[in-house]
Amino acid sequence: MAIHLTFQRDLCKGCQLCISVCPKHILELDSAANRKGYRPAVCRDESACIGCASCGKICPDSIITITKD
Protein backbone atom coordinates (compact mmCIF):
# COMPACT_ATOMS: atom_id res chain seq x y z
CA MET A 1 0.00 0.00 0.00
CA ALA A 2 1.43 3.35 -1.05
CA ILE A 3 0.93 6.47 1.03
CA HIS A 4 0.84 9.92 -0.54
CA LEU A 5 1.18 13.23 1.27
CA THR A 6 -0.16 16.34 -0.40
CA PHE A 7 0.60 19.81 0.93
CA GLN A 8 -1.35 22.80 -0.36
CA ARG A 9 1.90 24.62 -0.94
CA ASP A 10 0.52 28.14 -1.34
CA LEU A 11 -1.53 27.91 1.87
CA CYS A 12 1.27 26.61 4.11
CA LYS A 13 2.69 29.21 6.52
CA GLY A 14 5.75 27.17 7.45
CA CYS A 15 4.80 26.93 11.15
CA GLN A 16 6.73 23.62 11.41
CA LEU A 17 4.15 21.95 13.66
CA CYS A 18 3.90 19.01 11.24
CA ILE A 19 7.67 18.70 11.19
CA SER A 20 7.79 18.54 14.99
CA VAL A 21 5.30 15.65 15.27
CA CYS A 22 6.48 13.40 12.44
CA PRO A 23 7.74 10.17 14.04
CA LYS A 24 9.80 9.31 10.94
CA HIS A 25 11.42 12.78 10.68
CA ILE A 26 10.75 12.99 6.93
CA LEU A 27 9.19 16.46 6.78
CA GLU A 28 11.17 19.65 6.29
CA LEU A 29 10.75 23.19 5.04
CA ASP A 30 11.18 23.66 1.32
CA SER A 31 14.14 25.73 0.19
CA ALA A 32 11.86 27.81 -2.06
CA ALA A 33 9.17 30.16 -0.81
CA ASN A 34 5.52 29.91 -1.80
CA ARG A 35 3.63 32.84 -3.35
CA LYS A 36 2.98 34.33 0.10
CA GLY A 37 6.69 34.30 0.93
CA TYR A 38 6.63 31.37 3.37
CA ARG A 39 8.77 28.26 3.08
CA PRO A 40 6.18 25.46 2.99
CA ALA A 41 6.57 22.02 4.50
CA VAL A 42 7.45 19.15 2.17
CA CYS A 43 8.02 15.42 2.55
CA ARG A 44 11.55 14.47 1.58
CA ASP A 45 10.94 10.69 1.58
CA GLU A 46 7.32 9.71 0.96
CA SER A 47 8.26 6.01 0.83
CA ALA A 48 9.20 6.18 4.53
CA CYS A 49 5.81 7.61 5.56
CA ILE A 50 3.81 5.26 7.81
CA GLY A 51 0.50 7.09 7.30
CA CYS A 52 0.02 8.00 10.95
CA ALA A 53 -1.59 11.32 9.92
CA SER A 54 -0.03 13.20 12.85
CA CYS A 55 1.02 15.96 10.46
CA GLY A 56 -2.50 16.40 9.10
CA LYS A 57 -4.08 16.38 12.56
CA ILE A 58 -1.80 19.07 13.97
CA CYS A 59 -1.88 21.40 10.95
CA PRO A 60 -3.79 24.53 12.04
CA ASP A 61 -4.78 25.31 8.46
CA SER A 62 -5.68 21.76 7.36
CA ILE A 63 -3.47 21.93 4.27
CA ILE A 64 -2.14 18.35 4.46
CA THR A 65 -3.92 15.40 2.84
CA ILE A 66 -2.86 11.80 3.43
CA THR A 67 -4.10 9.19 0.98
CA LYS A 68 -3.43 5.45 0.76
CA ASP A 69 -3.76 3.34 -2.37
**pLDDT the model gives residue 1:** 81
Q: Tell me whether residue 35 is in a domain.
A: yes
Tens of pLDDT, residue by residue over 2-45, are 999 999 999 999 999 999 999 999 999 999 999 999 999 999 99
Q: Are 65 and 13 in contact (CB under 8 A)?
A: no
Q: Tell me whether residue 68 is in a domain.
A: no
- E strand map for the chain: 3-7, 27-29, 41-43, 64-68
Q: What is the number of structural domains in the chain?
A: 1
Report the CATH number that the domain containing residue 29 is assigned in CATH.
Answer: 3.30.70.20
Q: Compute how many other C-beta atoms are within 10 angstroms of the C-beta atom of residue 63.
A: 19
Q: Tell me whether residue 30 is in a domain.
A: yes
Q: Is the pLDDT of residue 62 over 90?
A: yes
Q: Tell me whether residue 45 is in a domain.
A: yes
- Structural domain harbouring 28: 3-62
